Amino acid sequence: MTRERLSILFVCPLPPSPPRFGAQARMHGLMTQLARRHDLTAIALAESGFDVEECRRAMLDYCREVVLLPNPAGRTGLSKRLLQLRSLASPHSYEYHHYSVPALQSALDRVQRTTRFDVVNLEFPYLAHFRMRGSPPGTPPPPVVIDAHEIAFDLVRQFASSSTSLGRKIYGGLDWRKLRAEEVSAFRSADGVYTCSADDEKRVRAEVPSARTTVIPNAADVEYFQPRPADPPVDGSTIVFFGLLSTVPNIDGVLWFLREIWPRISAAKPEARLKILGKAAPASVLSQAGPRVEVVGFVDDLRPHLASAAAIVVPLRLGGGTRLKIVEGMAMGKAIVSTTLGAEGIDAVPGRDLLLADEPEAFSTAVVQLLEDPAAVARLGRAARTLAVERYAWSVAATTLEQFFRKVLSSPRNGAR
């Protein structure tokens, strides 16, 4: 019989808290909700950009034990280039080498020797080559469940095919095939896999038909992200894009918007302003700043910026999963214009909950219509807020995840009992 209160070990390639970008927000949202009913332990890697003590304090708010291990691998400069060269001469992907930190296995062994976990939850499949089914002597091993977050090899394949650099095309073409083999192996060996969207679930099942899967969509903290009386009112002219600006899908989407869509909006509405929020904007985005285009960078609190926006734009052409920027914007009661891919996995009705457009002319027309119709902005915002509260709150997502854990525990696939 499954115990009412579960002991869950989360294994993460980066610290979940404090949440400052999408992957962190998903982990943080699910973990904080699960911690209300279950006991959580977390082992996570931390690259040089993280304040380890800040992360530890934030995670101890909901975890009974936190182990944070430095990951010396860098994502820029010489360190990254050396790992890429190493992966070229290896049967393993760049991602495999990036997360191969020997101290992680030692930490897993130590923690699992002293505590018997009901479930091991692996965030992303990148760490699946580590042994994760340890348990105290005489006790059965725990099942392993993977939060896929995204279908990584498919993203790398998209990036490689869309790149204008021959070197990146060749390198990406080699890397995604290695990553596919590793990802498929991880899904095959897991007792369960959950994805952000039904489309990603289909992609997992296409590779591993026997996989036990479910969909846990991205969600929002609907108590934090909500309209507040103290927030600035909608100004009728500001358009906002927000998201981590070191990721290929966001960079591609912002540049496409700036080059193909913004000039049309600007011509139709000379008073319009574009505000780009997000950490680590590259030079290609920073160079687009001007009197009517503001590249703000990272902000501690998104809510005032979103509150004053007449519209939020999600002009994404690459990627997978579901976008936190959409569910958080919906929770704030905002009118959103997105591409079909940008809204993938979100059960929204176009025209009622948000507007969809995939071509520059249609996208710009949709934004201009919102700038000219405050009543439509308010109507879309009300419907979006209702959808977020009813379908896309972290509390709802965590309840579904708990049910999946219990399903796995009732019939584990790899010998765990």
How far apart are the C-alpha atoms of 49 and 74, rounded to whole Å? 9
**What does the pLDDT read at residue 417?**
45
Geometric angle at alpha carbon 210, from 205 and 211, rounded to 5°: 60
290 DSSP assignment: B
Residue environment code for 154-171, b if the CB has 16+ CB neighbours within 10 A, otherwise e = bbbbbbbeebeeeeeeeb
* Residue pair 62/56 in contact by the 8 Å Cβ criterion: no
- What does the angle CA 135 – CA 187 – CA 221 come to, to the nearest 5 degrees? 85
Find the Cα–Cα–Cα–Cα dihedral 344, 345, 351, 354, rounded to 10°.
-80
Report the chain (417 residues): mean pLDDT per 10 consecutive residues.
Answer: 86 96 93 98 95 98 98 78 84 91 97 97 96 96 96 84 78 87 96 94 96 96 94 95 91 96 97 95 94 94 96 91 88 97 92 98 98 97 97 96 97 62
For 315, the token pair is 């002009």
Strands 238-242 and 336-338: unpaired
- Domains in the chain: boundaries: 7-219+394-410, 238-391
Q: How far is CA 294 from CA 180, 242, 243, in A?
A: 39, 12, 14
Instruction: Please tell me whether the peptide bond between 18 and the residue prior to it is cis, using omega within 30 degrees of 0.
Output: yes
Q: What is the pLDDT of residue 321?
A: 66
Residue 193's nearest CA partner among 408, 410, 409, 415 is 408
pTM, whole model, 2 decimals? 0.86
Domain 238-391, CATH class in plain words: alpha beta
Domain spanning 7-219+394-410: CATH 3.40.50.2000: yes
- Going by C-alpha positions, the residue among 182, 330, 150 that lies closest to residue 247 is 150
DSSP label at residue 262: H
**Amino acid identity for residue 203 in this structure:** R
